[in-house]
Structures are given as structure tokens and as C-alpha cells.
Amino acid sequence: MSAAPKSHGRKTIRPTLKPRALMDSTEELAGVWQARIITLFPDAFPGVLGLSLTGKALQDGLWQMHTHDLRAFGIGKHRNVDDTPAGGGAGMVLRADVLGPAIEDAQSYAKGRWPILYMSPRGQRFDQSMARDLARCDGVTVLCGRFEGVDERVLEHYGIREVSMGDYVLTGGEIAAQAMLDATVRLLPGVLGNAQSTVDESHANGLLEHPQYTRPSLWHDKPIPDVLMSGNHGEIAKWRRQKALEITAQRRPDMLAKLDRDPDDKA
């Protein structure tokens, strides 16, 4: 591909100007969990991560995000980043000699436990335990692919792990990276106001969550279940556990079977 097309669509991926300013600080906050994103579309970040709880946490310095623009590592006057697949076939592949320097630039900031992940439909399917593990790292470098993906030699050379958001194909890794980072950042200490919510929620304990209700107490002739209005916390906890079991049995029998197999496999 030659230089990025200046289509009028390009600007629309910048959701607001303000959240991007959150990332512009080059100041390193010691000991703060950090994401380094390698992407052809740095304007897509922080995207939704700049909003609500993750955005507030970014602003408060509870985590940091930096983008590394792949285009800046492009080759020649047109800053080419991709070329046709060896062996023929459709599409374009991101070049190893463009990705390599971008990855090394990102990794020059890495310290401690700091995996390099490539968002990819061929990867291990992302789940809550991977989010927990990632939150325990010091940071992460995330490579967002485009076109047909990346030159395989880069993945081998840097020991990059492929992570998938599910069994479907996206146009690029940016949305997948934001989903992965959202799930991870909300587990960092202090990001959620109420830490208990990460203990009770779906997938935290091998079960899907019980139903939730709030005011009004009667809506379209449907009342809130009596037990929730009873004030009896023991009974409420029992009811919620029972509902969580029922919903998991109906929707995700595979999760229930796993819980029976390893009942201690909870956190």
C-alpha cells in the first residue's frame, strides 16, 4: 500500500480531542501499569478507554497508555508499511522491517514482567483469567494488525503471544486491543470505585452473574423479586447464588462442568 489514503472517514475515528490529551504526557509514572500500543491508527486511542472509569483512572495516573505509530517506521518517501504476501494471494502483509523497529521502540520502555501480545483471530481466546494475569504484569505491548496481518518472523523473533477476541475476523486489532485493555485496567487497584464488584461479577468465580434489579419496584406489572426487598442479607445471598447457578446451567453448561471438576479454581 502507498501512503495512507486521506479519506474523509479517517477523522471520524477520533472520538473526542480531550481524552487523547491524556496520553500525550511523556512523563513516566514509576510503578504504574502501562500499555504500549503499536498501531497504524493511533487516533483510535484511547477511544472508549478515555471514558468513564478507565478514562478517569487514566487521568488520575492509575495506568498509562502510549501509542507507537507504525507509519512513522514506514519505508521510503511514502512510509510504506506493507507489501504483497510471499507466495501470492489476496491482501497485504505488514512488513517485518517496519514492525521490528516499532516493537523495539515500544520495548525500550518495558520493565519487569511485560509481555508483547499480537491481537489475532488465530490467538488464544481472551478471558477473565488472562485479564487477571495481565493486570499483575508491569505493563504490556500490544501489536494491532491490519490487512492480512503481520510477517510471521516477527512473532517468532520477539516471542510474541497471539490473543484473540473471539472466533470472528475484525478489520484491525484496535477494537480488540481496547476490549482487552478495558477488561484488564478495571482490575487494577483503585480503578473501580467498588472493588467488590470484580469479585461477584460474571466469570469472576466461574459463574455467570445473577439478575440485577433497581427502581422502580414495579415496572410494566413486573415487581422486583420479594427476597431482594426483604432486607435479609443471608436469604438474598442464597437467592443470588441459586440464580447464578441456574443461569450458568442454562447458558453455559461448559462453565458449570468446569466448576464441578475444579471447585477450587476460582480466583
User: Of the candidates 172, 198, 204, 209, which one interacts with ligand SAH according to CB under 6 A?
Assistant: 172
When asked if residue 166 is in the footprint of ligand SAH (CB under 6 A), the reply is: yes
Peptide bond into 216 cis (omega under 30): yes
Total residue count of the chain as it appears in this document = 267
When asked if residue 35 is in the footprint of ligand SAH (CB under 6 A), the reply is: no
Q: How far is the CB of 38 from ligand SAH (least distance, A)?
A: 10
When asked if residue 165 is in the footprint of ligand SAH (CB under 6 A), the reply is: yes
User: Of the candidates 17, 30, 86, 169, which one interacts with ligand SAH according to CB under 6 A?
Assistant: 169
Give the rounded distance of the alpha carbon of 20 from its chain centre.
Answer: 17
Burial call 67-84: b when 16+ CB within 10 Å, e when fewer: bbbbbebbeeeebbbbbe
- Would you say 139 or 149 has its CB closer to ligand SAH? 149
User: Of the candidates 54, 64, 164, 248, which one interacts with ligand SAH according to CB under 6 A?
Assistant: 164
User: Of the candidates 46, 173, 183, 228, which one interacts with ligand SAH according to CB under 6 A?
Assistant: 173
- Would you say 15 or 172 has its CB closer to ligand SAH? 172
Instruction: Indicate left, alpha or beta for 149 from its phi (over 0: left) and psi (-120 to 50: alpha).
Output: left
Is residue 14 helix, strand or coil?
Answer: coil
CB atoms within 10 A of CB 175: 16
- The footprint of ligand SAH on residues 96-125 (CB under 6 A) is 119-122
Count residues contacting ligand SAH (CB under 6 A)? 19
User: Of the candidates 23, 176, 187, 244, which one interacts with ligand SAH according to CB under 6 A?
Assistant: 176
- The footprint of ligand SAH on residues 128-157 (CB under 6 A) is 144-146, 148-149
Q: List Cβ<8 Å contacts ≥24 apart for 198-206.
A: 203/127, 203/128, 204/128, 205/266, 205/267, 206/255, 206/258, 206/259, 206/265, 206/266
- Would you say 148 or 182 has its CB closer to ligand SAH? 148
In this structure, the strands spanning 222-223 and 218-219 are: antiparallel
**Looking up cell 504490556, which residue turns up?**
140
Instruction: Summarize as ranges the residues that interact with ligand SAH (CB under 6 A).
Output: 119-122, 144-146, 148-149, 164-166, 168-173, 176
